[in-house]
Amino acid sequence: MPSANEQRGEVDIEIGGRSWVMRPGFSAVSAIEKQTGKSLIELLQGLQSIRVTEIAIIITECIRASKVTAPPTLDIVGEWIMENGIDSFLMPAATVLQNAWTGGRKAPAPEPEEGNAEPAA
C-alpha cells in the first residue's frame, strides 16, 4: 500500500487492519462540505464539538480522493471509529482538514524578537 505524500498534505491512517492514505483534494473537500453542511473553516473551528458522523465523512471522502480501489464506505468507517475509539481518528481527520486549508504547508516557526535571539553557539 502506498504511503502518504506529505508534500500533497496526505495523511496515513490505520483502519480495518490496513493502512490507507487520506488526500485532502478538491473533490474530498467538496464532498465533505456538501455532506456535513459546513464549510472547511467551520469544520476546523468546530473540532472540539465535531460529530462522529462528520469524522467518518472526512475520513471516507479523503480516502476516496486518494483513488484507491474499493474504498471503505461511510458505514464501515463509522463502525471502525466506534469499535476503536473516537480519539484514534480525530487527530488524523483534523490533520487532513488542516492540510486542506493550508495546502499541506506547515506554518513557519516564528522569528525571535530583536534582543531576544539566542546567542550563537
Number of domains in the chain: 1
Q: Is residue 71 part of a domain?
A: yes
The boundaries of the domain holding residue 20 are 6-102
Q: In this predicted structure, what is the pLDDT of residue 41?
A: 93
Q: What is the mean pLDDT of the chain?
A: 85
Torsion angles phi and psi, residue 10, rounded to 5: -70, 155
15's grid cell:
483502519
pLDDT at 82 over 90: yes
For the chain, give the longest Cα–Cα distance. 57
Per residue in 22-36, pLDDT tens? 999 999 999 999 999
Q: What is the mean pLDDT of residues 80-88?
A: 92
